[in-house]
Amino acid sequence: MEIKYVKGDATQPIGQGNKIIVHVCNDVGGWGKGFVIAISKRWKEPETKYREWSKDGKNFELGEVQFVQVEPTIWIANLIGQHDIKKGKDGSPPIRYGAIRKGLAKVSVFAREIKGSVHMPRIGCGLAGGTWDQIEPALSHELTGAGVETVVYDFE
């Protein structure tokens, strides 16, 4: 199975059946820039649940995922794959590839449980500072390699 690339809005996933929209969150509880703006314009619950999770602190760490159902067939996966919100002292970007892979493995299990497809923008490549050549193999290994239909959206 291959990753499907389409032009469009990842907050309006295509196809039938259950859909999981994955995006990358930070481990400091910050929500307010990047793709989360589009999510919050469409649904309030993902931000509310993420902020509650951040305050609670239980399992709020790199590689963890919070699934928030926003419509009968749509879930948002708040995947913590970014450490802090700015570059480190050494200039390293906030992205943590290992955390992304660990989170995607959890998304893969959930997708197979609900017989759902996975949808996302090019996660980790915006504010997190990651590169697609690092992210794409993780998608292929954790999602499509496990038989999970995966759609990546490039905003028009």
Mean pLDDT, rounded, for 69-95: 95
pLDDT at 90: 93
Evaluate if residue 22 carries a pLDDT over 90: yes
Query: What pLDDT sits at residue 94?
Result: 96
Mean pLDDT of 119-126: 96
How many C-beta atoms lie closer than 10 Å to residue 141's C-beta?
14
Residue 20 has pLDDT above 90, yes or no: yes
Helices (H) and strands (E) in the chain, counts: 4, 6
SS3 57: coil
Question: What's the angle, vertex CA 136, arms to CA 134 and CA 139, rounded to 5?
Answer: 120
What is the CATH classification number for the domain harbouring 16? 3.40.220.10
Range of the domain at 63: 4-154
* pLDDT the model gives residue 152: 98
Q: What is the rounded CA–CA span in Å between residue 76 and residue 19?
A: 9
- pLDDT, tens digit (0-9, with 9 covering 90-100), for 106-118: 999 999 999 999 9
pTM exceeds cut of 0.95 = yes
Other beta carbons within 10 Å of 84: 12
Decide if pLDDT at 99 tops 90.
yes
pLDDT digits (tens, 9 = 90+) for 38-56: 999 999 999 999 999 999 9
Pairing of strands 150-154, 117-120: parallel
CA-CA-CA-CA torsion sign (114, 55, 105, 23): positive
Would you say residue 156 has pLDDT above 90?
no
Question: Residue 133: which of 142, 124, 144 has the closest Cα?
Answer: 124
pLDDT in the model for residue 119? 98
Contact between 107 and 77 under an 8 Å Cβ cutoff? The reply is yes
Q: How many domains does the chain have?
A: 1
